[in-house]
Amino acid sequence: MIITLLLVFGAISSRAQENELMLGVRAGHNVAFGGFAALSLETNLTFGQCFNIRGGAQYSTIGKTTLEARPSYVYNFSRGSLSVEALINYARLSSTNNLAAGAGIAFSSKWVGGNAGYYYRVYGGAGGRVVEPFNIYYELYANLLPMIDNWDLQLVITNNDIFELERHFQPSFIAQSRYYLGEHVGLSLGVGCKPAGMFNMSADYYQSYIKLGVCYRW
Amino acid sequence: MLQMVKRLLSIAICVAAMSGCNQLDLAGLVMPTGEGVEKRFEQSQSMKADMKAGVVDVQSDYMFYVCADPHIHTTYNNLGIFNNALRNDSDAAFGVILGDCTDTRSNLQTYMGAIKYNAVQHRYNYDIFHILGNHDLFFNGWVDFKEIIGPSVYWFEVAFPEGKDLYISLDTATGTLGSKQTQWLKSFLINNRHAYRHCIVLTHTNFFYTDRTQSSSGNMPIEESIALIDFLGKQKVSLVLQGHDHYREDLTYDNVRYTVIGAISDEIEAPEYLKVYVSSDKVDLDWQLIAEDTELQ
């Protein structure tokens, strides 16, 4: 909650060059929990030339609340940008608290982008504590319509889609698009699926979802 | 982290090489190469009435043998040693093999030969319960497994004069329980757990990812793992026996003991198996290492 308030406050008060706030809903099916829906608030804020923070909060009907923040230092060059980022993800599912912290690098260009890094996860509750010290996060995406200013279409493979920080052998496959109706207001639409058992070499269906969002940028 | 990346790369190269020899089923990286877990659960349900695999009669304190990941290919020295020890031990009640019985589909008959009862060599014809592993599914291996061994999801009782213990075999070979198995497990334990002294869960895929040994294989998605350990804790499960990782792990979470048994395959550096002693107030583990030069008699 504190992270969310800070991000929202930051969004309102910042004099950043390009900022975005998005209200999103996600609906889907998961083999462990059945049908689910989730409501999220996401922000992406830029401070000056070099600093950026993205993150937000999500509540899902599977009984999970997630907060995430990724501050980064960005180096812009002629063909794109390279950044160093930190990652903090907190989730509460049922009676279990799940905290992950990490760091990595991200890059973006006209056609492709992605990130890669390391994170450390600890989860538990009254019953004890479990540490997962050796996780890698990664994302690779392709921009299919880089020539159109107000329309993005991306294909993504990632284990760190926002609010879903997975073990490294558990990637999601996502197709997502964002269309800006005017200078400030846009719509986003995405579909994703997450198989289980890929690294067992016996993959199976685990989860699929659709996500919709309304964005405001300034 | 660099070490981990190197390890992943070397595994990727080995995987590519081995897929050329029909050992690793690369198609399984992206889709089920046979029936998915929902179908396997349905078929398991139809194979046994109430999914009950049987009753083992014992005294109230008893012991059983368990091993994991024999990965039978052409040789079965270590699994043979396990089989001989089990079948000549008057204190044992039964045996359990926690999946990856074979390295790939065509080796199931060799595996069955390794664990068979031989009246000349063995004193006791104990039951051995088999768990399905991901390697057992390579190249649609489920077709052979269900025909020769049987269901992947089942339960059995160990009955003694004062009561009984419950054992549940889960199908986690594709990294998830799936919808139907999850619902069945929840309903079955909520309705039946109170009738048993101990409940012991048997699974191939391990739930936790606490060290670097797991980089070559996968667990379940994190949300499913957390939901499962939360539920097993509430149901006061005594012990969860797991394989898949090839390295020993033993931790207790929410009063449930989660134990991963290292592999018993002939290729592994430190093959091992486990004797589990069950009594009224506790479950004790006695690790058995197979010395490097021990040969099957």
What Cα–Cα distance (Å) separates residue B255 from each residue in A41, A109, A213, B208, B276? 37, 50, 42, 15, 17
User: What digits encode the pLDDT tens for the residues A134-146?
Assistant: 899 999 999 999 8
Contacts of B226 (CB under 8 A, 6+ apart): A93, A94, A96, A98, A123
User: What digits encode the pLDDT tens for the residues B98-111?
Assistant: 999 999 888 999 99
Ranges A22-26, B21-25, B261-265: which has the least confidence: B21-25
B49 and B25 within one domain: no
Does any CB of chain A come closer than 8 Å to the CB of residue B30? yes
Contact indicator for B95, B66 with CB cutoff of 8 Å: yes
Residue B297 lies in a domain: no
What is the tally of structural domains in chain B? Answer: 2
B81 and B2 within one domain: no
Q: Across the interface, do A96 and B226 touch by the CB < 8 Å criterion?
A: yes
Which residues is A46 bridged to in the sheet?
A52
B125 and B3 within one domain: no
> What CATH number does residue B181 fall under?
3.60.21.10
Does any CB of chain A come closer than 8 Å to the CB of residue B113? no
Question: How does strand B92-97 pair with strand B249-253?
Answer: unpaired
B101 and B24 within one domain: no
B213 and B140 within one domain: yes
Does any CB of chain A come closer than 8 Å to the CB of residue B174? yes
Find which of B177, B207, B222 to mutate to test the A interface (most A CBs within 10 Å of its CB): B222
8-state DSSP, B68:
B
Instruction: Write the residue in B210, B216, B254 that is nearest to A128 by C-beta.
Output: B254
pLDDT > 60? residue A128? yes
Please state the φ and ψ torsions of residue B172, each to the nearest 5 degrees: -115, 20
Label residue B216 by pLDDT band (50, 70, 90).
low
**How far is B222 from B243, CA to CA, in rounded Å?**
18
Give the residue on A whose Cα is nearest the Cα of B204. A200
Q: What is the model's pLDDT at position B22?
A: 60
Residue B41 burial (C-beta neighbours within 10 Å; 0-12, 13-18, 19+)? buried
Give the residue on B whose Cα is nearest the Cα of A33. B179
Task: Assign A40 to helix, strand or coil.
Answer: strand
Residue B295 lies in a domain: no
Find which of A164, A167, A204 to mutate to test the B interface (most B CBs within 10 Å of its CB): A204
Whole-number mean pLDDT of chain B? 91
Instruction: Write the residue in B4, B33, B205 that is nearest to A136 by C-beta.
Output: B4
Please state the φ and ψ torsions of residue A58, each to the nearest 5 degrees: -140, 140
B138 and B26 within one domain: no
**How far is A104 from A110, CA to CA, in rounded Å?**
21
Give the strand order in the sheet containing B283-289.
Answer: B128-130, B92-97, B62-67, B272-278, B283-289
B48 and B10 within one domain: no
User: What digits encode the pLDDT tens for the residues B268-284?
Assistant: 989 999 999 999 989 99
B71 and B194 within one domain: yes
B184 and B223 within one domain: yes
Determine the residue type at A109.
Answer: S
pLDDT > 80? residue B177? yes
Does any CB of chain A come closer than 8 Å to the CB of residue B102? no
Taking the CA of residue B220 and the nearest CA in chain A, the distance in Å comes to: 7
B81 and B208 within one domain: yes
Q: Is A124 left (phi over 0), alpha (psi -120 to 50) or beta?
A: left
Neighbours of A95 (CB within 10 A): 15
Label residue B33 by pLDDT band (50, 70, 90).
confident
Residue B143 lies in a domain: yes
> In chain B, which among 212-241 make CB contacts under 8 A with chain A?
212, 214-224, 226-230, 233
B40 and B113 within one domain: yes
**How far is B132 from B87, CA to CA, in rounded Å?**
22
Neighbours of B105 (CB within 10 A): 21
pLDDT > 50? residue A15? no
Task: Assign A175 to helix, strand or coil.
Answer: strand
Ordered by where they begin, the domains of chain A are 2-217 (2.40.160.40)
**How far is A88 from A75, CA to CA, in rounded Å?**
21
Label residue B125 by pLDDT band (50, 70, 90).
very high
Residue B284 lies in a domain: yes
Neighbours of B267 (CB within 10 A): 12
B187 and B125 within one domain: yes
Residue B294 lies in a domain: no
pLDDT > 80? residue B21? no
Residue A58 burial (C-beta neighbours within 10 Å; 0-12, 13-18, 19+)? buried
**How far is A64 from A71, CA to CA, in rounded Å?**
23
Query: pTM for the full model?
Result: 0.90
Taking the CA of residue B48 and the nearest CA in chain A, the distance in Å comes to: 24
Residue given tokens 């090489």 in the structure block: B17
Neighbours of A79 (CB within 10 A): 9
pLDDT > 70? residue B23? no
Q: Across the interface, do A128 and B253 touch by the CB < 8 Å criterion?
A: yes
Structural domain harbouring B14: 1-31
